[in-house]
Structure 1
Amino acid sequence: MAYPVKWYASQMQGAPSLGDTADGALAALLKAVLVTGFGTLTINSLVWDAATGWAKATISAGHAYLQDSVIEVSGASPAAYNGEHRAMKVSSTEVWFELDGGNPGSAASGVMSMKVAPLGWTLTHESGDGKMAIYRPTDVSASGNVSLRIDNTAFSGWFGATYMGYLAKMQLVEDVVDINTYTLIADQRWPATGRYSDKRWDLIGDPQLFYFLPAYASGNYQSMFAVGYLKSVRPGDRYHAITLNYSSTNADDSNRRWNVGVGGSFTNYGTQGLTFDDTTNRLLARPYSQLFGVVGCWFKGMFTRFGTGMNVPNGADNAFYMSTDPIMVMETGNHLRGYLPGLICPFASVSAWYRKNFSNMPALPGKIVRFVSGTYTESTTQGAPTMVGFDLTGPWR
């Protein structure tokens, strides 16, 4: 089965760490998620479980694969067990997963392994040490001319000597010749480590766009970053790549002191990616005209941000409300450029739902939804994280 959307989290089997003070951790994390997959373990037995109608893999030494994630099996015979599958249930030593063709007819044999399946982007260029890389969606005809370049080396200024920020370059590029030869569209920053936090992270994406929510700095909040292609309304659009960025390119910015916790001064290290009607730290590669130069944009919603607007439960009907409509992306000048796919806008934030998955909600039958909380202001003293939902089933387009 094809899985157009996949999700990843720091507690998964073999998940790469966001790191602490060393350069290269973000680059390694993105390569593992986007291209190679991670968390490979040996399968000791693989059978068809008639009671559940799923295949059952036993990993005697134990594992940390998660329900609802997409795993990849290789080395099994019959071959029907191989490939990418949705994990339907897990125990400490077993993983049950769905098979399109049903019962393969016999238990599997061979040198069998399982890993968390990659998102399926293409790595086009990489430095020898792996700390710089250029990625693009695999199907260029469905996306556009823009690639993502990550520079997670110890370049001058990546580390804040006084105020302790750690930033990697997140760049939009085109006309790529090699890792150092390209046309620069935009030069932004993402957090390069999880310094001072518990280093948890979530990443949800499809073949053209992904959302990355790392925890970093002493506030220990996750913030939402993104890169990739929105759903454009313009025919033939080749520059509808969008980014959500860190609020500064200066890792030693005195207003963004990673080593100061919530309640202190100068903790403006959050992002505003979950707010509506706000152009802060987000851009499109080119305007709808396709002429050179980045352009600002903002998202439209019913209330001021994700995760707010109504009581939960709603008094009149004891319900929880959310919007499943695609998020409008407005370009500077009040032009609708397209829609930001995969997001679900809850009208309240429920702390007990944080980083939890829900299946077959009344408004979304047949879907799996994951709720994560992220910052909605730069200042961690002015607001706790707000909740956003992600469609883990898709397709987003």
Structure 2
Amino acid sequence: MAKADTSVKWFHSGMANGPVLRGEAGALIELLDACLINGFDSRAVDSIAVAGGVATVSLSAGNPFEQHVVIQLAGATPAALNAEWRIATSGASSFTFLCPGIADGTATGTITCKRAPAGWAKPFSATNKGVYQSIDTNTTQLYLRLDDAHAQYTRVRGYENMTDADTGDGLFPTLAQCAATAYSWPKSNAAGIASRSWALVADGSMIHFLPVWTASYPHADVFRFGDAVPLFAADAYHCAISAAAAASPAWPSHANATVMNMQYQTGCYFARGADQAAGAAVTRNIAMNVNSAGGYSSAPPVAGELTFAPQIAFHANAIRASIPGLLVGLERKTDYITRTVSEGVDGRWYLKVAVGENVSTPDGSFVALDVTGPWR
């Protein structure tokens, strides 16, 4: 029996006491701080009993933590329990996790439990500005900068180097490719406190952010930042970013070809081209031969099953890298509920999220995000 991998963290707007995505300045920085840096929803633990390498955690006030999420314990004795754990089973007032190597017994101390953050750093910040970076020295460790001063649209940009929240070089995309106000992760189509649904799934070097940012279109956009899995070890600038390449996008996937309209390259960039020369490079993302909205309308070959394809990133019509953690649905599935977690034939668990374009009802397009890990 081995400890379950905890490298992948997943969150969504249906989780208790989580950050609220809304049309206000600073709202997306609040969300990323909660999911990447701090975690959220700390609860008092009544007891932890370990037997046969399985820990049972009791919370008499109610257990909000779902199966497969990663939690972080603190304040326990033995100290080995003060770590991250992936929940194996979950009930109304308790959950369990595998803890091989920890002796049988009952923990003592003032113990708390919270949703574990993805474990990124925030090296620089200013009013309504935030800079995020992987802490893994085996990654590119390039920077994601947010200017969250606008109520509805957060301006995003990648940087190769930064010295404070406003100073850096090696922008991707460059300002010549996308103006400063024309590259964004939308929060809401309307200014104000009305909340919007969202999901975020990340490991230590890739973030997938899926906001349902407009009430008129009840499906998610898909944005990302972080390291793809390069085809060649010499590729040192395989950090990818995607966003809406428009000052005020009008609908999900408007000016954004991350998973919809994949025959285009709009909004998708690597820090540099495959030749490693300075300057951002556009990238095109393909999942098998699905390159536009939706997928195949025919039923899958095995009744009740769905098929997915990994996403491959191209530069200059050549395969450069694969995108970790995200699969693209190959059928149209209009009757499933968004944010459904289910098991794949590979034994991993996937969070399915409806995605779409400028249609008022979901057209059946969806993605599946691996919440089991590891991605690499």
Could you tell me the TM-score, scaled by structure 2's length?
Answer: 0.87
User: Mapping of 1:3-14 within 5 angstroms?
Assistant: 3-14=6-17
- For the residues of structure 2 that align with 1:352 and 1:49, how far apart are their CA atoms? 38
Structure 1 residues 151-201: Cα deviation after superposition (integer angstroms, max 9, x where no partner)? 112xxxx24xxxxxx101111113211112212333521113474875221
- For the residues of structure 2 that align with 1:305 and 1:268, how far apart are their CA atoms? 11
- For the residues of structure 2 that align with 1:218 and 1:84, how far apart are their CA atoms? 36
Is the contact made by 2:196 and 2:214 (CA closer than 8 Å) also made in structure 1? no
Q: Which residue is 1:368 aligned to?
A: 349
Is the contact made by 2:134 and 2:142 (CA closer than 8 Å) also made in structure 1? no
Q: CA deviation at 1:388?
A: 1.0
- For the residues of structure 2 that align with 1:247 and 1:93, how far apart are their CA atoms? 45
Q: Which residue is 1:181 aligned to?
A: 167
Is the contact made by 2:187 and 2:211 (CA closer than 8 Å) also made in structure 1? no
Structure 1 residues 196-229: Cα deviation after superposition (integer angstroms, max 9, x where no partner)? 8752211111111111001112223211111111
Q: Which residue is 1:82 aligned to?
A: 82
Q: Which residue is 1:320 aligned to?
A: 305
Structure 1 residues 48-89: Cα deviation after superposition (integer angstroms, max 9, x where no partner)? 366xx6312222222422211000111111223221111122
1:49–1:229 distance in 2 versus 1, CA, 3 Å? same
- 5+ residue gaps, structure 1, are 160-165, 259-266
- For the residues of structure 2 that align with 1:49 and 1:307, how far apart are their CA atoms? 48
Is the contact made by 1:120 and 1:138 (CA closer than 8 Å) also made in structure 2? yes
The amino acid across from 1:355 in the alignment is: R
- For the residues of structure 2 that align with 1:280 and 1:70, how far apart are their CA atoms? 34
1:290–1:313 distance in 2 versus 1, CA, 3 Å? closer
- For the residues of structure 2 that align with 1:327 and 1:22, how far apart are their CA atoms? 33
User: Mapping of 1:266-281 within 5 angstroms?
Assistant: 271-275=256-260, 276-281=262-267
Q: Say what the alpha-carbon RMSD is for the aligned residues.
A: 2.5
The amino acid across from 2:328 in the alignment is: C
The amino acid across from 1:387 in the alignment is: F
- For the residues of structure 2 that align with 1:62 and 1:381, how far apart are their CA atoms? 37
Is the contact made by 1:13 and 1:63 (CA closer than 8 Å) also made in structure 2? no
Structure 1 window deviating more from structure 2 (199-208 vs 274-283): it is: 274-283
Structure 1 residues 361-382: Cα deviation after superposition (integer angstroms, max 9, x where no partner)? 33x13x112211112x3x2359
1:310–1:32 distance in 2 versus 1, CA, 3 Å? same
> What is the aligned length?
358
The partner residue of 1:152 within 140, 144, 148 is 148
SS for the counterpart of 1:388 is strand
User: Mapping of 1:1-397 within 5 angstroms?
Assistant: 1=3, 2-19=5-22, 21-48=23-50, 54-101=54-101, 104-127=103-126, 129=127, 131-140=128-137, 142-144=138-140, 146-153=142-149, 158-159=150-151, 166-183=152-169, 184-186=171-173, 187=180, 188-193=183-188, 195=190, 199-219=196-216, 220-248=218-246, 250-251=247-248, 256=250, 271-275=256-260, 276-300=262-286, 301-305=288-292, 308-314=295-301, 317-318=302-303, 320-323=305-308, 326-331=310-315, 333-350=316-333, 351-359=335-343, 361-362=344-345, 364-365=346-347, 367-375=348-356, 377=357, 379-380=358-359, 384=363, 386-397=365-376
Structure 1 residues 334-381: Cα deviation after superposition (integer angstroms, max 9, x where no partner)? 12211111122332233325311123x33x13x112211112x3x235
1:321–1:305 distance in 2 versus 1, CA, 3 Å? farther
Percent of paired sites with the same residue: 24
- For the residues of structure 1 that align with 2:48 and 2:332, how far apart are their CA atoms? 41
The amino acid across from 2:307 in the alignment is: M
Could you tell me the TM-score, scaled by structure 1's length?
Answer: 0.82
Q: CA deviation at 1:268?
A: 7.7
Structure 1 window deviating more from structure 2 (93-102 vs 107-116): it is: 93-102
- 5+ residue gaps, structure 2, are 174-179
The amino acid across from 2:202 in the alignment is: G
